[in-house]
Each structure stands twice: as C-alpha cells, then as structure tokens.
A and B are shown apart, each in its own frame.
Chain A
Amino acid sequence: MTKMLFLHISCGLGLVSAFWVAHNFYSLTLLQNPAKTLRTLWAVEASVVILLYSLFRRNPDQCSYLRAVLRGLLGLPTGAVVNALGAIVLGAPVGIQHFEKTIHWSLLMSVLTFVPAACVFGSCWSDWLRVFAHTEAIAACIDWIICIGAHGAVIGAWFGAWPMPLDWERPWQEWPICVTCGAIIGYLVGLIISFGFVVFHNQKQRVKGD
C-alpha cells in the first residue's frame, strides 16, 4: 500500500519537478521552447518511471532489476515510434520544422504509456494484450496502474488536440503544446483515479480476507 502511494506520488512529482527544473535551471517554458522543454520533461520523468516501475517487474526471481531497467530503456524509443505513428495518422504535421518537436513529444508519450509496461512485462505479448486490449480480466494492482495511467495520457492527448483548429491565433494552439498539456493533465487524472482504485481494491481484498 505505501509502496503504491510512493509510486503514484513520485510519478506525479516527477512531472512537476521536471517542469520546475526546465523553468529554473534552463529557463525554458513549453510556449517558447517546446522541443527543449519536452526533452527535459521526458528525460526527468523517464528516469523516475524506469527506476520505480522496474521494482514491480513480473517474475522478480528470474529477471534482475538491471534487466528490467534495460527493458525500459529499450521500450522508450520503440514506444516513441508507436506514439509518433499514431499522432501522424491522426493528423500531426509532418515536416522538417516539426520533426524535433514530434520526436520529443512522442518520447514523452512513450514514457507515460509504453515504458512502464516495458519495465514490468518485458516482451510478453499476452500481458500487453491483457493490459491494453482487455482480452482478459485484470487482477494485479500494478496492471491497473499501468493501464489507467496510459489510457489517461492517450485520452488526454486526444482531447488536447481539439482546440488546435480554432482560429484564436494563440501560441498554445501550436503542435504539440496543447496536446502535451492534455496528455499531462490526463496522466495526472489517471494517477489519481488509479490510486483511488488501488485503495478500493485493497479494502475489498481485506473484507474478503476477513
């Protein structure tokens, strides 16, 4: 229980502190330097996520902590490719001037969606299917956390894209600023929901145990 609380709080704080680092050390803001800010964001959050989720790896006896970290590091670019393809299919701009922003955005999305699963499950396809496609009922707490967080980020990003076609001529309407904001808000909401879920789940199990 305390482990789960720690996981949630540090994932949330990781994002907040990444913004703080970007703002205070490099004096970057999402509006003025989206690419560089996104780079700081994913770098800080990736270290938090990989180090923490590797603790919760599947089959800890067969798989060492270092190997789980390595899986997370490998999952980072793979997930970035998947996220970038998804965004481009949905209409993200393709072009040299957007290239850097798209890469850093998809790396951040990969950290929020793909990397936790890569750390925990490795390359076990049935586990991935269970969590992301709900082929079977999900039992373990960590599965729910990964599932809700990732879905929160993706749904948040999807809704974050809505103000982009409006002709308000605001700087935050540019790709990928509002999509990033949507994804981060969605992820944080997902964290809150998944923590509530974990508490609920534990209580239910305790009642069953009694």
Chain B
Amino acid sequence: MIVSDHGMTESGNHGGSSYEETDSLALFVGAEKFSYAPETNNKAHQVDIAVTLALLFGVPIPRNNVGTVMAEVFSFLEDEQKLRILQMNSWQLMRLLQTHLTESGCGKSSCVSGSGKTGAERFCCLYLDATALHENYSRSGYANDYRTVALAYHNFLRTATEWLSSRATDKPIGLLASGIAAMLLSCLGLMSLLLLFNQDTHFKNSMQKWHLDEIFIPAVIFILIISMGSSSMVEEEQYIWHFMTSSLYLILLRRAIQSKASHYHQIYSVITVLLCGRVLRGWHQGGVNWSYLPDISKFLEQSGTLHIKSLQLLSTILVISTCLLVLLALKLRKRVAIIFVLVYIFPVLLILKQIFQYQDSIIQIIYAVLGISTVGIFVATPWLMPLQNLQTRFPFGGIGDSVFVIGWCYVFSWCLLQLILQQPVNSMPTSLLLMQIVASIRFFSDRDLHVKQWVKVAALYYVGMAGHFGLGNTNTLATIDVAGAFVGISSHSTIISGILMFIITYASPMLVLLSMLMNVFNKDLSAFANVQNIDFGHILKMILGYNCLVPLGLNSILLLSYTIVLLLMQNHLFVWSVFSPKYLYVCATTACVYIGVSILSLTTAYICMVFGIRVTLKRNRSTERLPCQ
C-alpha cells in the first residue's frame, strides 16, 4: 500500500484545506486481481484507511476507529469472508456508538417500523437487521441473499460513520466563544492598563515622535502573528525570533550611533548581544525541515566528551565571572559584597566537582544549598542593606540596591541550576544567554539614550524567546528533555519530574523574567523619595509597572491570536502535528510568564514592606531620643 501525505497547489503551498491540498493518493497493490474495482473513481476517506489496513493485516480494528472498510480492497475474498469483514467493522462501530450513546443495549422489540426513530434506536435497528439477515444467509447459503446482507451492513456502516465523524468534529461553540471573549477581555484590559500607565509616567511629553525601535516592538508581534498562520513558519519559529530580535538590536545599535551622548561601551554591549545571539542561533539548527544540517551541538557531540566537558567548565567559569562582575559593578559596601560571594562559594564548588564526577547525592545537596541560599538572600537582604546608597547618596537608595541584588541572586542561582540540569552541550548557550541579558541591561542602564522603559522590557522579553529556541527547543514535543527531568532524583515522582522538565524547557524566558529586577535603576526611583518622606506606592509602580505589564501584555496578545489561529486552522492537515503542540507551548509560556511575574511582584512587595518597617522603626527611635537630648 502506497499513500502520499498531502496534495499541493500550483504555487507549492500545502497543508491548507483546499481540494488540491487535501486530495492525496492511496494505492493498493496485491497479488490477487481486483476483479470488479473500476480503475477510476476510487475515492475513500482518510479515516477508512486505518480499518482497512487492520483487516488486511488481520489485527484488531482500533477501538476508536470511525471509518468503514474499503470493500473494493477485499474483492478477492469469498462472499462469506467478505461478510465476516463487514460484520467485524459493524460490531466495532456499534461498540463505539454504545460508548457515545448512554442508552442500554439493543432490544429487538422496538424495531418493527423502519421510520421515525432517532439516536440509538435507529443504529440498533440497522445493526440488528444486518445481523439477522447475515444469520439467515449463513443458514441457507443462497447466493442471491449475499447482496441483501451486504447492503444491510453497508447501510448501517454509512449511517454510523457519518454520525460518528460529525460527532468527532463537533465543538461546544458557547464554551469556545466565552473562552475567547475572556482572553480578549484580559488582553484589552492589560493593554489599556499599559496605555494608562504610559500616560501616567510620560504625561509631560506625550506628543513626542515615535522612535524606530518603539515602532518595531509592536511590529515584531504583528509579524509573528501573521507568520503563525503558516505551518512551516510555526515549525521554523526559531528563525523568526532570532531575525526579529537581531533586527531590533541592530536598530538599537543605530540609535546608539545616532546619539551624540553615547559611549563606546554601549556600542560594545549591543554588539555582544548580537554576536551571542548569532552563536546561539548556530548552536542548535532546530526546526523540522533543516534539523539535519550541521550545527555546533552536533559537531561537539561528534568530537567527544572531553571537548564537551571542557566547554562545560568554561561556561561555568563564564557564568561565575559574569555574575561576579555584575556584583562588583554595583559598588556595594565591601563587607556586604563578601557575604554574597561567600554564600555562593559552596554551591559553585559542588557544581565544579559535579562536572568532573557525576553523583546523584551531590546534586540533591546542590538543589538544597541553592534553594537555601536564594531564599536566605531574599529574606535577609532588605534587612541588611543600608538605607542610603553609598555612591549616589540617594535617600532610600537601599531599596533599589536590594531589588538589584535579589534579582542578581535569582539570576545567578537560576543559571547555576541550569548548568546542572541542562544537557552538557547546552551549558555554553546558557552562559551566552546570561551574557546577552547582562549586556542588554548594561546598555539600557544609560539614561542619556532615552530608550523608553517598555522598549527595554520588551527587548529583554524577545531575547528570552529567541534564547528559548537557542537552547534547542522547537515547537514539536520531541525536543523536551525528558532525561534531564530525572537528574538527581532518587525515587520516581511525576510532579517533581514535571517541575524539572518545565525548569529545563523554560530556562530562557524565566531567566529573562527574573533578570527584570536588575532592570530597575536607582536614578528612576530617586524622584519618589527624599530625606523625610518616601512614596512606596510610586516606587512599587516604578519597579513593577512595565516589568510586569509588558510581558503580560505581549503574552496575552500572543495567546489570544494563537487561539484564533488554531480555531481557523481546525481543518488544516497539520492541526495535530504542528498547531496543537505549538498551542501547548503557548499555554506553558503563559504559565511561565505568570509565575515569573508573581515572583517579581512578591519580591518587590516584600522589599517595600521591610523598608517601610525599617523607616518607621528609625523614626520612632529618633523621636524617642529627641526628648533626652
């Protein structure tokens, strides 16, 4: 048997629902001559292939089959055997019908008059008619009766398959509509919040000209949505993200050159982002159609474990030194900085040991130590950080410092965790991604460029999405690293493995969301705090506003538009192989964004709360002292 997967239009498009694209070839070649099958006009439905093949091979018919057997294929058999095949098909369909229709089994009494029956009864009668005729035929064996029996069976099969097929494509329209309405509402709500927030923060110069990078951010989303309508663009989505993100950073590079105030270090930062992005793109070919082409990961796997190990070591060192440099650049008090370094010495040493010698027990210790130190820094930093920033002398600059340090700690811990969990080949992409993020934040930290805050956040989000594919993920479920989900687990647990799988797959978007805390700068916060007073509401708004709203908004647009795309593509040939897995990824990305955003808001709320307590304590103390003096 020879079958083609799909047809094609004249222009080369395939996979749509036009006649040319859905029409494909099925050719049965047998030793026997098909006696009465005419050579033309042999049309069959796709659902009929499964049952026909099952019967040809002599295996049971699949339980959920809704097709009918292609009788022409079995024309070489004796009459008795042909009827047997029809009988088996009918019996299977009858069982499937009974699972759909809850009414109990067939009673013979009701099948007297043929017309005016609905639902289960009708199928029952047709089925019983056919079986009764078949029994008669087996007893008497008149050749003339064969036609009647076959006709009765075909009659039942046709009605049953029509009903079952329409049932399979039946959709609860009310539920779908309300779901889409809810998504639309949340999307509109987020967008209007973003607009309001934008007006709130830029009320002075609302009529300013839009820069190219500000126009390009929505254009990225628009182009992405347009290309999601094509199945091959969904399969090769990594190209789109990389292309758009690199274009965005090229535009930012142009802007940095344009600006007279720009420094060389900014241009170097953008070039670092671009180069790291290109290496990330070349690390895994990804996609479906060109996944066989050579790439860096395949080259490394061929060249042996020694190269991979040394690269893993190099990327660990890169991660550590990048994080150290970031911490040093903050210019904290020496004692404070040393505490942070000391906290991380133990897990780092364990990870280095683990690279040389893999041990399950060590990994469990690493999980525990990383968790404890992250939580410890999160809890302790707001209490220990001096209220005033040393360098800039901003009153309450400690809030910005705490936010930055906790963000740094999240990013560092997350990267170290990824170095253990990801495949050894992926350790370098992890460190490249970290460098991209750090370079971006360094680029954005200069206020002379006047890059808008929402552009910064969106650019980081795009880097995260491009990095998601750079770590070897695709829109098929095959690239999910199942083996990594069992790293360091001694007993099987579906929930823990699921969490680990999620951590591995969404390493990059999560890293970006966590790094948003480092994207808050003291200078922006200083306007809302002076020596006497501190406006926590505004500070919370400044820290969380864009950092939460932009990822949420972008993600809600993507979720809504992709849901609509999926509904439009419901008759597409690749709806199960391409669009549905992609939808699962879109849903998981939504979950990732919500988790990241809640971590951000929890952290910031906690820091503000602690500083509030500290400020009131300090005030109380000074008022207590005043009378004594």
Chain A interface residues toward B at CB < 8 A: 86, 88-91, 94-95, 129, 133-135, 158, 161, 164-170
Contacts A133-B254, A170-B12; is A90 near B243 (CB within 8 Å)? yes
9 A/B residue pairs, CB under 8 Å, sorted by A: A89-B246, A90-B246, A95-B294, A135-B258, A165-B233, A166-B232, A166-B233, A168-B13, A168-B232
Do B281 and A91 touch (CB < 8 A)?
yes
**Inter-chain contacts of A95 with B (CB < 8 A):** 294
**Inter-chain contacts of A158 with B (CB < 8 A):** 247
**Inter-chain contacts of A166 with B (CB < 8 A):** 230, 232-233
**Inter-chain contacts of B243 with A (CB < 8 A):** 90-91, 161
With both beta carbons as reference points, the residue of chain B lying nearest to A173 in the complex is identified as B12
Contacts A89-B277, A90-B246; is A165 near B258 (CB within 8 Å)? no
Do A91 and B246 touch (CB < 8 A)?
yes
CA distance A91 to B241 in the complex (A): 11
Interface residues of B, count at CB 8 A: 28
With both beta carbons as reference points, the residue of chain B lying nearest to A94 in the complex is identified as B282
Do B278 and A88 touch (CB < 8 A)?
yes
Over the window 1-19 of chain B, the binary record of Cβ atoms lying under 8 Å from chain A Cβ atoms (1 yes, 0 no) is 0000000000011000000
Do A89 and B232 touch (CB < 8 A)?
no
A163 to nearest B CB, angstroms? 10
Chain B interface residues toward A at CB < 8 A: 12-13, 230, 232-233, 235-236, 239-240, 242-243, 246-247, 250, 254, 257-258, 260, 274-275, 277-278, 281-282, 287-289, 294
**Inter-chain contacts of B275 with A (CB < 8 A):** 89
**Inter-chain contacts of B274 with A (CB < 8 A):** 89
CA distance A88 to B294 in the complex (A): 16
**Inter-chain contacts of B239 with A (CB < 8 A):** 91, 164-165
CA distance A94 to B233 in the complex (A): 22
CA distance A95 to B290 in the complex (A): 15
With both beta carbons as reference points, the residue of chain B lying nearest to A154 in the complex is identified as B250
**Inter-chain contacts of B258 with A (CB < 8 A):** 129, 133-135
With both beta carbons as reference points, the residue of chain A lying nearest to B287 in the complex is identified as A165
CA distance A95 to B277 in the complex (A): 17
Contacts A89-B275, A90-B243; is A135 near B260 (CB within 8 Å)? yes
B146 to nearest A CB, angstroms? 49
- 7 shortest interchain CB distances as A-B pairs: A165-B236, A167-B232, A168-B12, A133-B258, A165-B239, A167-B289, A89-B274
CA distance A134 to B255 in the complex (A): 10
B250 to nearest A CB, angstroms? 7
CA distance A133 to B246 in the complex (A): 18
**Inter-chain contacts of B232 with A (CB < 8 A):** 165-168
CA distance A88 to B275 in the complex (A): 9
A160 to nearest B CB, angstroms? 12
With both beta carbons as reference points, the residue of chain A lying nearest to B11 in the complex is identified as A168
B302 to nearest A CB, angstroms? 16
CA distance A35 to B233 in the complex (A): 28
Cβ 8 A contact of A89, one of B13, B230, B278: B278
Cβ 8 A contact of B257, one of A91, A129, A161: A129
- A90-B243, A168-B232 given; name 19 further pairs at CB < 8 Å: A86-B250, A88-B278, A89-B250, A89-B277, A90-B247, A91-B246, A91-B278, A91-B281, A94-B282, A95-B294, A129-B258, A134-B258, A135-B260, A158-B247, A165-B239, A165-B240, A166-B230, A167-B289, A168-B12
With both beta carbons as reference points, the residue of chain A lying nearest to B8 in the complex is identified as A168
With both beta carbons as reference points, the residue of chain A lying nearest to B255 in the complex is identified as A133
With both beta carbons as reference points, the residue of chain B lying nearest to A158 in the complex is identified as B247
**Inter-chain contacts of A135 with B (CB < 8 A):** 258, 260
**Inter-chain contacts of A170 with B (CB < 8 A):** 12
A88 to nearest B CB, angstroms? 6
CA distance A168 to B246 in the complex (A): 25
**Inter-chain contacts of A133 with B (CB < 8 A):** 254, 257-258
CA distance A170 to B36 in the complex (A): 42
With both beta carbons as reference points, the residue of chain A lying nearest to B235 in the complex is identified as A167
Tell me which of B230, B243, B247, B287 has the highest count of chain A C-beta atoms within 10 A of its own C-beta: B243
CA distance A129 to B258 in the complex (A): 7
CA distance A148 to B453 in the complex (A): 31
**Inter-chain contacts of A94 with B (CB < 8 A):** 282
CA distance A141 to B281 in the complex (A): 41
A202 to nearest B CB, angstroms? 27
**Inter-chain contacts of B235 with A (CB < 8 A):** 167
**Inter-chain contacts of A88 with B (CB < 8 A):** 278
**Inter-chain contacts of B257 with A (CB < 8 A):** 129, 133
CA distance A86 to B233 in the complex (A): 23
**Inter-chain contacts of B282 with A (CB < 8 A):** 94
**Inter-chain contacts of B287 with A (CB < 8 A):** 165
B344 to nearest A CB, angstroms? 34
CA distance A3 to B571 in the complex (A): 59
B461 to nearest A CB, angstroms? 19
B225 to nearest A CB, angstroms? 14
A170 to nearest B CB, angstroms? 6
**Inter-chain contacts of A167 with B (CB < 8 A):** 232, 235-236, 288-289
**Inter-chain contacts of B260 with A (CB < 8 A):** 135
With both beta carbons as reference points, the residue of chain A lying nearest to B242 in the complex is identified as A91
CA distance A95 to B296 in the complex (A): 12
**Inter-chain contacts of A161 with B (CB < 8 A):** 243
CA distance A88 to B271 in the complex (A): 13
CA distance A164 to B233 in the complex (A): 10
**Inter-chain contacts of B12 with A (CB < 8 A):** 168-170
CA distance A170 to B250 in the complex (A): 30
CA distance A192 to B71 in the complex (A): 65
A56 to nearest B CB, angstroms? 25
**Inter-chain contacts of B236 with A (CB < 8 A):** 165, 167
CA distance A142 to B355 in the complex (A): 61
CA distance A169 to B294 in the complex (A): 19
**Inter-chain contacts of B13 with A (CB < 8 A):** 168
CA distance A169 to B12 in the complex (A): 8
With both beta carbons as reference points, the residue of chain B lying nearest to A133 in the complex is identified as B258
CA distance A90 to B250 in the complex (A): 9
Tell me which of A135, A161, A167 has the highest count of chain B C-beta atoms within 10 A of its own C-beta: A167
**Inter-chain contacts of B246 with A (CB < 8 A):** 89-91
B469 to nearest A CB, angstroms? 12
With both beta carbons as reference points, the residue of chain B lying nearest to A162 in the complex is identified as B227
CA distance A168 to B281 in the complex (A): 22
CA distance A90 to B239 in the complex (A): 9
B278 to nearest A CB, angstroms? 5
A98 to nearest B CB, angstroms? 11
A81 to nearest B CB, angstroms? 14
A199 to nearest B CB, angstroms? 27
CA distance A95 to B282 in the complex (A): 11
**Inter-chain contacts of A86 with B (CB < 8 A):** 250
With both beta carbons as reference points, the residue of chain B lying nearest to A161 in the complex is identified as B243
CA distance A88 to B288 in the complex (A): 22
**Inter-chain contacts of A168 with B (CB < 8 A):** 12-13, 232
**Inter-chain contacts of A90 with B (CB < 8 A):** 242-243, 246-247, 250
B546 to nearest A CB, angstroms? 27
CA distance A88 to B243 in the complex (A): 11
With both beta carbons as reference points, the residue of chain B lying nearest to A135 in the complex is identified as B258
CA distance A158 to B240 in the complex (A): 12
